[in-house]
Amino acid sequence: MRDWSDEHQDYVEVIDDSNVLLALAERGQTELIQEYLQQGSDVNMTGDFDETPAYLAAKANNLRMLKILTAAGADLDRSCVLGFNPLHWAKTNNNPEMIEFITQWYASKSGPSSSTE
């Protein structure tokens, strides 16, 4: 039986479970990352500097990839070792659509207001 990585190894430099999701996110390979996620890969895995696939998608200014990862359960609040997260990159890249998407994600995580008005 052919392994997924055998079939798609031309898309990543090093094929192993520790980095393929990161490489696909960074390179914008949306179709391939969906296949990999369907195989049960951890959407919140981290690289050597605690960067997640969502972090790399935001850094690459790829909103479509970020939406795919978020739909699969990506935590947009996770930061790399330098303290940067996807919102940082959305602002750095001056991407208002991505900023709005991430802001809405944060709002959905905070739940209803606990105001006593």
Q: What is the pTM of this model?
A: 0.80
Which tens digits make up the pLDDT trace of 20-46? Answer: 899 999 999 999 999 999 998 899 999
Structural domains of the chain, ranges and CATH numbers in brackets: 4-105 (1.25.40.20)
Q: What is the mean pLDDT of residues 55-64?
A: 98
Asked whether 32 and 5 are in contact (CB, 8 A), the reply is no
The total number of residues written for the chain in this structure: 117
Query: Which letter does DSSP use for residue 60 in this model?
Result: T
Cα–Cα dist 27/36, whole Å:
14
Which tens digits make up the pLDDT trace of 81-108? Answer: 999 999 999 999 999 999 999 999 999 9
Residue 116: band (very low, low, confident or very high) from pLDDT cuts 50, 70, 90? very low
